Amino acid sequence: MVLLLSGLLSATTSLAGAAAKPREVTSVDSIRYFMEKGQSLFVAARYANAAEVFEAGFELHHYSAFKFNAAVALEKAVRFEEAAQRFKEYMEVDASAPDSAEVQKRIERLEQLIAARKKSGKPNSPSAVSPQEDATKSLVVVETEPQGATVHFFQQLADDAQFAAGDEHPGFKLLQTAESTAEVSLDVGKYHVVVDRFGNFNPSEADLEVLPGHVHQLKLNLSQGAFMAYLRVEPNPKYALTYVDDPKREKAAWAKGTHGELIPTGLHQLLVVAPGFQQYARELNLTEGQKEDVSVRLERVEYGVLRFDSNAPNIHVTVDGRPVGDWSNGNRALDVEDLRAGPHQVSVTALGRKPVHDTVIVPKGQVQPVHAHMVVTPPRGAAWTQAIISGVLLGTGAYLGLESNRLYSELHNDRLAGILVSGDSRESRGKWFSVGADIAFLGGAGLGGLAAYNFVRDPLPPSQLQLGKLREFASKPAANRGNAP
């Protein structure tokens, strides 16, 4: 669990209620100012300036972390003599520093570098230090109410270690013990802070992650034994948000992911939510000293989302025969929400592309990306040209045929009337019309067949719907989805 100072301050305040004592804002803010100012200069590789700020902070607030950080900054600035001196001063300020052995070795290494430089007469060069040695220390201030309680700082050795109750704490190492108000300089890392029973006040504990160059202020109100319990919530999925006594989620979440801390006894409303999952809500009635571990496995909601895009510039999407929208290239993908989980008939059409109809399974509580790969409709220009020419030929054939028939009819009638003369020009015209009609019909039929073939012929593959990797809901889902189809 990560406890940043501000969050922790807020949490402890809210949990302690009116019993909390107003903190000395001026002092802590001043410490924080120097620490964070020096850290920002350090990160910017302005090591000499950082060292000066850390020194100035020490002048005002005699915390060993300032000395240590000034020494690290001077070492980075290749000012080894001064760095060794600051490390020594750190040892003097905090004689019980848990890392005194490591610091002593560091001083010796610096002195060797100094001696070597004097012997060679060459200017200093940057020393080879480990990433851990590069880090500055942070100041952790643990205050209890009432003061005087014994505070233990356990360093978490493994990322997945859980602090166990009792005397054995696998995965943790007792680093330092102090009396509150405890002010310790800690390296960057995860810690677990335990406050022993103090008189008739209950013990207390909290997780803590120390960031580089920060001032962490931890206030623990020690309640009397009859009023406090410990609640730990482990949700699945791990990014689920936990709300305590906030059913409408009007405040910041109590925790994100797994989290545990002291909580007043009594009836509490627990709400765990995650996008794409049905919310989990229950009531907890915690008693004095009760340690409650709640493991929550959220169930996915019964609806999902289809997210459409395409290689075509514009597409029209229909789901289960209902138009659901259009998508154009350059716009965000078309999300079709509130779809009942399960198979749905999806149709996508695009101008000049082959339409595609397929069944897509909508996942529960997730987004199914659907890429409509729209294949262009084969060009029918040649077919249309052939069809038109065929039509023209058929029309011409029909005209010529009709004209031929008309001439034949005239000649026939004239013959019956006894006036048909040999060499009548209509005979040759009628013959040519007949020949022309036959040729036109043949040509028209041939071209018509060719046009039909070219209309049917399709050398390109069909359009298809390509399903992408399922994605989680990005936003907080609505609490109640009643209109999912």
Question: Which CB sits closer to another protein, 311 or 434?
Answer: 434
Q: How far is the CB of 421 from another protein (least distance, A)?
A: 4
- What does the DSSP assignment read for 52-93? HHHHHHHHHS--HHHHHHHHHHHHHTT-HHHHHHHHHHHHHH
Among 435, 460, 474, 478, binds another protein (CB under 8 A): 435
CA atoms of 438 and 397, how far apart (whole Å): 7
Binding mask 383-422 for another protein (x = CB under 8 A): -----------x--xx--xx-xx--x-xxx-xx--xxxxx
Among 423, 459, 461, 482, binds another protein (CB under 8 A): 423
Q: How far apart are CA 387 and CA 394, in angstroms?
A: 10
Contacts with another protein by CB under 8 A: the residue count is 40
Q: Is 369 helix (H, G, I), strand (E, B) or coil?
A: strand
Q: State the minimum distance, in angstroms, from the CB of residue 452 to another protein.
A: 4
130 scored as a contact of another protein (CB under 8 A):
no
- Residue 440, token pair as written in the block: 């036109």
Q: Report DSSP state, residue 353.
A: B
Cβ at position 459, least distance to another protein in Å: 17
Q: Measured from the CB of residue 438, what is the shortest distance to another protein in angstroms?
A: 6
- Residue 377 found at the interface with another protein (CB under 8 A): no
Mark 175-193 as b/e (b = at least 16 C-beta within 10 Å): bbeeebbbbbbbbebbbbb
- Count of residues in the chain: 485
Is 45 one of the binding residues for another protein (CB under 8 A)?
A: no
In the complex with another protein, the residue whose CB is nearer, 260 or 444, is: 444
The position carrying tokens 């992408």 is: 468
CA 289 to chain centre: 38
Q: Which of residues 438-457 bind another protein (CB under 8 A)?
A: 438, 441, 444-445, 448-449, 451-452, 455-456
Asked if 227 is part of the footprint of another protein (rule: CB under 8 A), the reply reads no
Single out the residue of 85, 125, 137 nearest to residue 106, CA to CA.
Answer: 85
| Closer Cβ to another protein, 227 or 408, answer by number | 408
In the complex, what is the shortest distance from the CB of residue 378 to another protein, in angstroms, rounded to a whole number?
15
Place of tokens 């018509």: 448
Q: What are the start-end ranges of the H helices in 121-158? A: 131-134
Phi first, then psi, for residue 127 (nearest 5°) are -85, 150
Rounded Cα distance, 59 and 80, in Å: 21
Q: For another protein, give the closer residue by CB, 22 or 418.
A: 418
Summarize as ranges the residues that interact with another protein (CB under 8 A): 394, 397-398, 401-402, 404-405, 408, 410-412, 414-415, 418-427, 430-435, 437-438, 441, 444-445, 448-449, 451-452, 455-456
